[in-house]
Amino acid sequence: MTGGILILIAMELLLPVLFGMVFALSDENVTGRKHFFLSSLVNGQIVLYAVFQVTTVWSILHSVEFSYALKRFVPVAVAVLTVLIVIAAVKYRKRFSVIFKGKPEKIGLWGVIGFLIFVFMMVMSFFMTYTDGDDAYYVTTAVEAVFSNTMYIKIPYSGVGTISSFRYKAAPYPMWLALLSKASGIHPTALAHTFFPWSMILLSFSVLFLMARNLFGGDTKKRGIFLFFASVLIMFGDYSIYPAENFLLARARQGKAALAAFVLPYLVCLMIRIAKQLGEKGKCGFRELALITFTGLAASLCSTIGGALSLALVSVSALVMAVIYKKLRIPALMVLMNLPAVAFVLLYIVKG
């Protein structure tokens, strides 16, 4: 059990940081170790989701076994990670030393209170976990993959063999749960109800931290107030089964939770970042455009409609930026870079 927990920590903390390191180093606004870690964690998880989505859907379309799908995902992930680490080592080596030699950034009183609320939610998500009707499909699908070595060829409710709707095949988030279970040796159900809430709440609050940095820069007091009120709204927003707060606090194991509480807020954060760059410099970097593509693919992993929602958000943001800044090239590129995610929506429409 201890070994499995250490593997989970490595896969959900260390691995995303390695994948996202180059994106944090290439961000000129990242100035401290805390900011570097959280930026790397969030960006790396987005990239991991994107790579997993492409390789897993391809495997599902070819009706291969779950173990074989992992054999396709791992080499691709290793290749992507190698490229990202080489870029970080060659291009941003000096930047790395500058970040880690700097003084730790102070945390204001508001930030401390917000952090305590965050810790409280992490603890309560473990002690007050409960089952949900959707678990009968999504968690059982992960259990089927781990113990039957199959993907989407049985009805989870009854175990009868059938051809699953492409609505589920095009967004194989339960396979991510199955991957973590397979690697750690912890049962998918136990993993879904214990570890998943912690990791998703951490990712969601990391996005809020990055959003506060984009909105308020180095003003620690304003950032702390933002994080405090965001924490309070989340904690008291679980008033029914429908809001995003419920998905984060009660159903973190489901793809819809990752989409509502992590991926789409991250995309909003990315839009704010691009808007600031356009306003200050009249352009945005390739880093942000590449992350739009990765985020769209990550949204598609979480839900079939995720690709369409990401395209809608990017398109509306691009239209607003085109009108305000009177520049068409960057907004057009934003929409273009998000189009790969729409491929999974089209697959569902054609094959679903």
Domain assignments of the chain as residue spans, ordered by start = 2-351
Single pTM value for the model: 0.93
Question: What's the pLDDT score for residue 102?
Answer: 64
Show the low-confidence residues of the chain (pLDDT under 50): none
In b/e form, how buried is each residue of 48-85, taking b as 16+ CB within 10 angstroms? bbbbbbbbbbebbeeebebeebbebbeeebeeebeebe
Structure tokens at 59: 């495997």
CA distance 1 to 11: 15
Single-letter code of the amino acid located at 150? T
Question: What's the pLDDT score for residue 53?
Answer: 95
H or E element, residue 71: helix 66-91
pLDDT tens digits for range 169-195: 888 999 999 999 999 999 998 888 888
Q: Identify which of 274, 293, 326, 246 has the alpha carbon closest to the alpha carbon of residue 80.
A: 293
Question: What's the pLDDT score for residue 75?
Answer: 95
3-state DSSP assignment of residue 55: helix
CA distance 70 to 84: 21
Question: What's the pLDDT score for residue 95?
Answer: 82
Question: What's the pLDDT score for residue 291?
Answer: 95
Question: What's the pLDDT score for residue 170?
Answer: 85
Cα distances from 343 to residues 4, 101, 149, 304, 307, in angstroms, run: 36, 44, 27, 10, 8
Question: What's the pLDDT score for residue 163?
Answer: 60
Q: Identify which of 181, 184, 194, 190 has the alpha carbon closest to the alpha carbon of residue 148.
A: 181
Question: What's the pLDDT score for residue 131?
Answer: 67
Question: What's the pLDDT score for residue 1?
Answer: 65
Q: How many residues does the chain have?
A: 352
Question: What's the pLDDT score for residue 162?
Answer: 62
pLDDT tens digits for range 88-111: 888 888 887 777 776 666 777 887
Contacts of 318 (CB under 8 A, 6+ apart): 330, 331, 332, 334, 335
159 and 113 Cβ atoms separated by less than 8 Å = no
Question: What's the pLDDT score for residue 45?
Answer: 96
Question: What's the pLDDT score for residue 161?
Answer: 67
